[in-house]
Each structure stands twice: as structure tokens, then as C-alpha cells.
Amino acid sequence: MADRIRERFCEIVAEDRVLEQEPMARHTTFRIGGPADYFIELGNVDEIKAAVGICQEENLPWFVLGRGSNLLVSDQGYRGVILSIYKNFQNIDIQGEILTVQAGTLLTTLSGKALDASLSGIEFASGIPGTVGGAVVMNAGAYGGEMKDIVRQVTVLDQEGVVRTLTGEEMQFGYRTSLAKKKGYIVLEAILELKPGEKEQIREKMQTLKAKRIEKQPLEYPSAGSTFKRPEGYFAGKLIMDAGLRGARVGDAQVSEKHCGFVVNTGHATAADVRELMRQIQEKVQEQFGVRLEPEVRFLGEF
């Protein structure tokens, strides 16, 4: 069966883009995760549709991966197919203030192109280490900006394999959520609208935000970004700090001493280490403050 499935994937992409038992630690910013049964690098909409079709026909679980910047993969890996929409899916077309961007495009690349074109509005995302697709699904945001502010249209592949076009309003963006997340749609492309600006002012804002990130976030360690969502009326990092958990560890997983909202991998942390540390954090914060912290990090595989 495994040979047949591999052959089917090799019919739609080159053999060197079909990987078996691929360690997911190579594909997440946490640098954690066991092997996926299949890891398929996809480069266009037809390949994506065909790969999803194979997964459905063969009754194989599948998961769409960008840069893996908000993901914790089990130490046992993933018994299914990882559809990688990243390296070969990064085209950007700029027409005036309108940018048409493929889902695999890095936010850092996109913000750099916007700067080159003297377009403002995406500075907030210039240091987020993810892709446009993931940012749209999660309505990524930072420093007062969110994707919903600039997204005008999104092209998705739905669960039935139909390509659909949705307006920004139809995407139902909320705090770290969207219709794509709720329905399991694959984001293929986004049309963004920015505003003309002064290049030096845009550059200065990006540099200011970069300096803030370096000062306040533990960028020197692998992590998945903010570990928990912001509870209404609170800040997760402050609750964790006030609970006395700064620097708390399980194995090589640690609550960052620089910013308690981050759990970092200080060396060879396992997914089990991270999950247990998160459990302890949730328990202690609930016990002391009556607030239940909800993970912002997504979990993939068995825990």
C-alpha cells in the first residue's frame, strides 16, 4: 500500500518532493516533532487539489503546513500526509496598492516587498516568522495590526476540493481565528490592500518594531511564538509571571525568562516536555487567578 501511495504522489510532483518518514523537527520553528508518514512539497493549485484528492481517496489524514511557526508536533510524529505549501508557492504581484500573494509567501518577504513599493499597512507583520496562508487562517496580528485590516479577498480550497473566493467580510476574522480555520479551508492566495507611504517612515516603523521584538521576545531560542491566547482583560505573560513561573522548566522546555508568554526549546526539548509544562502553567494560573489559559499553539499528532 505504501508503495502505491508514494507512486500516486509521484505522479503529481517530482520524486524528490515526496518524502517518507520525514522528521517534523526540520519543519517547525519549535524544532520539535517526530516523523510524518509522508511529506509532500506542493507548488501550484493543481498539485494541491490533486494531493488532497489522493488523501481523500486513500482515506489518509492530511494537514497543511506553511513554515510551522505556530505548531507543536507530537514526538511520535504524524500518521498521515503533510501537505507543504511553502517553498514553491511564494509569488507576489503588486499593482498599485493591491498585492496578490500566494499562501506560502513569508510575511518577512512580503513586508520587504511592500517597503520597496513604498506601501504601508503590513509593518506589524514584518517580524512574524510565518507564511501568509497561516497568517490569514489565524488572523495573525501584532503591535495593533491584524491581517483582517488589510485582507480584501481570499482564495481557498474547501473540504470538497472546490476553489472558492471569499471577501474579507466573508472570512469572519476574529481573535486568532477565521472562517478558514473553522471550516478547514486551505488558503491558496490572498489579495491585500495597503496604503501609499513614505519609504523612510515605513522602514523606521519596521526597525522600531524589530527592536521591540529583539528586546522583549526570546528570539534566540526556538519557539512557536506566543504559547497561549490573550485572555479577555488579562495578558497571558503577566499571569504566568505573577504565578511565579518565570524560568520554570520541564526537561529542556522552559518558560522564557525574557517574556513569560513564550515557552522555548533551550536544547533538546520534546513535545511531551512542552505539553507538560503548558499543563502545569494552566493549572497554576487557574489555581491562583481563576483564569483558564487557552493554547494559541496548535497540536498535531497524538499527545
The residues assigned a catalytic role are 176, 226, 296
State the cell numbers at 43: 507548488
| Residues 260 and 240 sit within 8 Å (Cβ to Cβ) | yes
How far apart are the C-alpha atoms of 25 and 303, rounded to whole Å? 16
Enumerate residues 6+ apart whose C-beta is below 8 A from 192.
98, 99, 101, 121, 122, 150, 151, 152
- Give which of 88, 81, 89, 73 is closest to 26, Cα–Cα: 73
How far apart are the C-alpha atoms of 299 and 301, rounded to whole Å? 7
Q: CA angle, corner 26, sides to 146 and 103, nearest 5? A: 35
- Give which of 183, 186, 199, 146 is closest to 168, Cα–Cα: 146
**CA dist list (Å): 65 to 72, 187, 236, 300:** 12, 11, 26, 11
| Residues 75 and 271 sit within 8 Å (Cβ to Cβ) | yes
Pairing of strands 78-84, 35-41: parallel
Q: Given the C-alpha cell 472558492, which residue does it identify?
A: 164
How far apart are the C-alpha atoms of 247 and 263, rounded to whole Å? 9
- Give which of 69, 84, 66 is closest to 22, Cα–Cα: 84
State the cell numbers at 200: 523612510
State the cell numbers at 147: 491581517
Residues present in the chain in total: 303
